A = this chain, B = another copy of it.
Amino acid sequence: MRPLGVRVDDWLKDSEEVGPSWLTVDLAIFTLRDDQLMVLLIERGLDPFNGMPAMPGGYVQKDETLRDGALRELAEEAGIDGSQLHLEQFGTYADPGRDPRGRVVTVAYLALGPNLPTPVGGTDAARAFWAPAARLEDGALRLAFDHQTILTEALEEVRRKLEYTAVATAFCGETFTLRDLRTVYEVIWGQPLDPSNFRRKVLNTPGFVQPTGDQWLPPTGRPAALYRRGHAWLLNPPLLRAATSGQRG
C-alpha cells in the first residue's frame, strides 16, 4: 500500500481516531418500461457479495466531481448516456459496518430517464438488468451492502418529488403527450388519475410543460398535442396525490 498523498492537520496526524475512507457513488436508476417502474441492478462480479444484485456504482476517481463520477459509472456499468437524463444527489451513506472492506462512503444519486435501453454488460458488473421497483418493498429481493435501504429511500424520494417538482417529465422523452405524463404519475403512485382533471392541473401550473405545436397520432383515437418540459422545477401549486387512505401527515 502506498502512503497517502494528502496533507492533514497536525491534530489529525496525531490522532488514531480518524482514518482514510474510500469514496464511491451508487446509482438509483429508475425508468418506465411496459407501464412499470423499473430499477436497474447489476449482479456483482467481485467479493464481497459476489453474485448478489446491487446498485450500479463505483469508486470516485481523483480529481473527479461526484457528478462526473456518477455520469462515468452510468456509462460504464449501464451503458447509458447520462447527459440526457435527470441526475440528482439524494443521500450519503457511511455507516462503519456497511462495507466489510473498511470505511467506504457512498453518495447515492437518483437517475431518471425515459424508457432506457436494456443495459449491456458493463465493465465491472457481471450482468445488468431491470427489476420492477415494487420488488424493493415486498422483501422478495436481497441486495448487497445496504443497497436495499438506499433504493427504498430513493423510491420514496421519487414518489414525494413527483408531487412538488416537475421531475415526472424526466421519465418522458424530449416531447410527450399529456397521456404520457399522466401515465408516469399513475404508474409511480399506483392509482389512476382523471385525464381531464390532470390536464387542467398541469396546464394551469405555469412552466410545467410547453406546447410544441406538433401532434402525435395514436394507433387509435384522437390525435394528442405534444409538449416539452417547461422551465419550472418547483410546482406551485403542487400536484398532490388524493389523500385517500393512510395518514395525511
Contact = CB atoms under 8 A, between A and B. Distances in A.
B238 A238 contact: yes
Given A65-B95, A102-B6, A249 B234 contact: yes
Interface string A66-93: 1000000000000000000000010110
A15 B245 CA distance: 53
B22 A8 contact: yes
A19 B135 CA distance: 35
Interface stretch (A35-43, A188-196, A212-220, A225-233): A225-233
Given A91-B89, A105-B105, A240 B237 contact: yes
A246 to B, nearest CB: 10
B6 A3 contact: no
A2 to B, nearest CB: 8
For chain A, the bracket of interface size reads 35 or more
Contact of A235 (B166, B232, B249): B249
Contact of A60 (B18, B101, B248): B18
A144 B141 CA distance: 45
Contacts of A91: 89
Interface in A5-20: 5-13, 17-20
A100 B105 CA distance: 20
Contacts of A208: 249
Contacts of A164: 164, 238
A106 to B, nearest CB: 10
Given A21-B20, A66-B92, A92-B107, A11 B124 contact: yes
